[in-house]
């Protein structure tokens, strides 16, 4: 999966810079993530990505959602998979929900940042607008490490003209009753948490859909 993560909604300045598709063409939202997006331990169709698809349909927004998330994936894994995904699905929007497993495995933060930069650039190169979802790790990782890890997502978004969800699990992992929002492993959000996760992503993604 990924480490504790969450969200407020904030679009980075350059998020609208990528060229759009031809007028009238439905959007394609590609989500490249780990278990937080892959419905790990959840009933099928109850994760935030499935809820996003239903919300788009309910609001009459012409958009296809492709969930290319893999439980346990790292930014390196996502980077390796991305070119084929971009070619196959030709997305107008890419949501990058990766990084938590990098921290859990103690991978260098420089590698995580470089992979996110590469994925953002590759997505923008095919005309997609990018949303990066920020992650956080628990305090036991050490204050300096936790601060540096949390900061890298915003730094990449600002430098690369992507939109930013500051913390994907805002209101889930950072609340007094956080245990009530997680599965028994205390790592993966439960079914109750996923509507809240979608509410963290929605204010960032929705304006980019036109």
Residue 165 buriedness (CB in 10 A; 0-12 / 13-18 / 19+): buried
- More confident site: 26 or 85: 85
Q: Output the pLDDT for position 25.
A: 60
Four-way CATH pick for 13-209: 3.30.70.1140, 3.20.20.100, 3.40.50.1110, 3.40.630.10: 3.40.50.1110
- Tell me if residue 164 falls in helix, strand or coil: strand
pLDDT band, residue 6 (cuts 50/70/90): very low
- Tell me if residue 67 falls in helix, strand or coil: strand
Rg of the Cα atoms in the chain: 16
Which helix H or strand E contains 33, and what residues bound it? strand 27-33
What residues are annotated to the active site? Answer: 35, 185, 188
Give residue limits of the domains in the chain: 13-209
Q: Output the pLDDT for position 35.
A: 98
CA gap 2, 136 in Å, rounded? 9
pLDDT band, residue 141 (cuts 50/70/90): confident
- Do residues 193 and 174 lie in contact, with contact meaning Cβ atoms separated by under 8 Å? no
Q: Is the pLDDT of residue 140 over 90?
A: no
Residues constituting the chain: 210
The greatest distance separating any two alpha carbons of the chain, rounded to the nearest whole angstrom, comes to 49
- More confident site: 16 or 189: 189
- More confident site: 6 or 159: 159
CB neighbour burial string for 113-143, b if at least 16 within 10 angstroms, e if fewer: bebbbbbbebbbebebbbbbbbbbbeeebee
Angle at which helices 75-89 and 109-125 cross, to 10°: 10
Average pLDDT, the chain: 90
The answer for 123, left when phi > 0, alpha when psi is -120 to 50, beta otherwise, is: alpha
CA gap 64, 96 in Å, rounded? 16
Q: Output the pLDDT for position 131.
A: 98
Strand partners, 65: 29
- Do residues 67 and 31 lie in contact, with contact meaning Cβ atoms separated by under 8 Å? yes
- Alpha helical stretches, state H, the chain: 48-58, 75-89, 100-104, 109-125, 143-160, 194-205
CA gap 66, 28 in Å, rounded? 7
Q: Is the pLDDT of residue 94 over 90?
A: yes
Q: Output the pLDDT for position 139.
A: 79
Residue 47 in tokens: 């994760």
């Amino acid at each position: 999966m990924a480490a504790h993560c969450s969200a407020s909604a904030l679009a980075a300045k350059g998020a609208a810079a990528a060229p759009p598709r031809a007028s009238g063409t439905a959007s394609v939202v590609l989500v490249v993530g780990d278990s937080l997006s892959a419905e790990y331990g959840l009933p099928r169709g109850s994760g935030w990505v499935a809820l996003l698809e239903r919300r788009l349909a309910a609001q009459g927004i012409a958009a296809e959602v492709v969930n290319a998330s893999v439980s346990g994936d790292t930014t390196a894994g996502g980077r390796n998979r991305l070119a084929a995904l971009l070619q196959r699905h030709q997305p107008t929007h890419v949501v990058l929900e990766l990084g938590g497993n990098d921290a859990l495995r103690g991978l260098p933060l420089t590698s995580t940042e470089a992979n996110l930069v590469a994925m953002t650039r590759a997505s923008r190169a095919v005309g997609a607008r990018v949303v990066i979802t920020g992650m956080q790790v628990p305090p036991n990782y050490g204050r300096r490490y936790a601060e540096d890890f949390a900061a890298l997502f915003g730094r990449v978004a600002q430098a690369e003209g992507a939109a930013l969800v500051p913390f994907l699990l805002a209101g889930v992992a950072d609340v007094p009753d956080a245990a009530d929002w997680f599965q028994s492993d205390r790592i993966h959000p439960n079914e109750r948490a996923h509507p809240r996760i979608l509410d963290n992503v929605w204010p960032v993604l929705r304006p980019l859909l036109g």
